[in-house]
Amino acid sequence: MTRDAASSALDSLRDLRAISESDSPGQHVFRPSGLMIGIECTRNTLQAIQLWRPTAPTDHVVFRDLDVFAHPAREVVERMSEYTTIEASADEPASFIAPDLLLSFWRPFAADDEPDEEQGYYFSSVLLAKPGYYDTPAQVAERLRQGALGEGTATSRSTSRGDSGDWLDALTL
């Protein structure tokens, strides 16, 4: 998706009755519930969409039938594992990545047994990315080299998966 198309889609999620002073056109919007929706574009192309946990229960971010912000992080991981591989992030063990779906779930720390500690008990954000988003510089260089040779072979898990539309179709707001 182009930056202009992504910006238009983002604008369509803005609640015109309650525009936040924190909105930044073409970058992110805050809904009245506190849900923040942001886009990341590089070279005029959408790379990722990030959604931050709302503070009010009026907006829901649902993958299949799972509200990813209303359920404890541990439960989200367990239920996501019914659909796909989900693993702890190597850099942040309190966070998880579903590499086949190009989804990442983030929270600043784990507090799985402490429901009153919302920042660690629930995920704070979910990021949806396009293939190649998590590639290392070496993987990008190899993919470009292979493309120049006409091979067109993907070099990483994130680029070897199917079209990202699969998870995008299943995610509702």
Per-residue exposure over 61-98, b if at least 16 CB sit within 10 Å of its own CB, e if not: bebeebebbebbbeebbebbeeeeebeeeeeeebbbbb
- The pLDDT score that the predictor gives to residue 123 is 96
The residue among 8, 46, 76, 9 whose CA lies nearest residue 164 is: 46
pLDDT digits (tens, 9 = 90+) for 27-64: 888 898 989 999 999 899 899 999 999 999 899 999 98
Q: What is the pTM of this model?
A: 0.76
Is 91 a residue whose pLDDT tops 90? no
- Residue spans of the domains in the chain: they are 3-134+161-172
- pLDDT tens digits along 137-146: 887 788 778 7
Q: What pLDDT score does 155 carry?
A: 32
Tell me the sheet residues that pair with 83: none
- Residues sharing a CB contact under 8 Å with residue 131, sequence separation 6 or more, in sequence order: 102, 154, 158, 159, 160, 161, 164
